[in-house]
Amino acid sequence: SNVSILMVDVDHFKKYNDRYGHPAGDECLTQIAKVLQTTLRRPEDLIARYGGEEFIAVLPRTDANYAAAIAERVRVAVEALQMRHESSSASHFVTVSVGVVSCKADFQMKSSALISAADQALYQAKHEGRNRVCVVDAKAAASTH
């Protein structure tokens, strides 16, 4: 059985806060949290705020393909909220970048290394232009640590 991690980051969130103010930024994060809650409906799925504008989701019994499909649903749903973001280079609306990593549940890898791999995937998504999903292979990521 597999476990997958999604690392979700709001694209150009600092610019959003600078332009629309922190109360609007808080509301933006609330709306994205709601998207995550409605997209990840299984009781065993765990969603948490992770730093300023990041969320992390832990999906047990989820392989890389399914995790990537869920991540894409999250990405599409966030953009579909159509929250204006005039300062973003990714879209006129608020968008997210998502890093995905998946591994066998029995794969000997520390959770910190798995999170780091998801973060690597997220970095790649941002580097490729944001508002997208990137998947990294846990074993490949582990070999770089």
Query: Known catalytic residues?
Result: 53
Both tokens assigned to 119 = 């973060």
Cβ burial of 68 (10 Å; 0-12, 13-18, 19+) is: buried
Q: Which amino acid is at 19?
A: R
DSSP string, 79-97: HHT--B-TT-SS-SB--EE
Expressed in angstroms, the distance from the first to the final Cα of the chain is 24
Beta strands of 1-132 (E only): which ranges? 2-10, 46-49, 54-60, 96-104
Q: What share of the chain is helix, strand, coil (3-state, %, to 5)?
A: 45, 25, 30
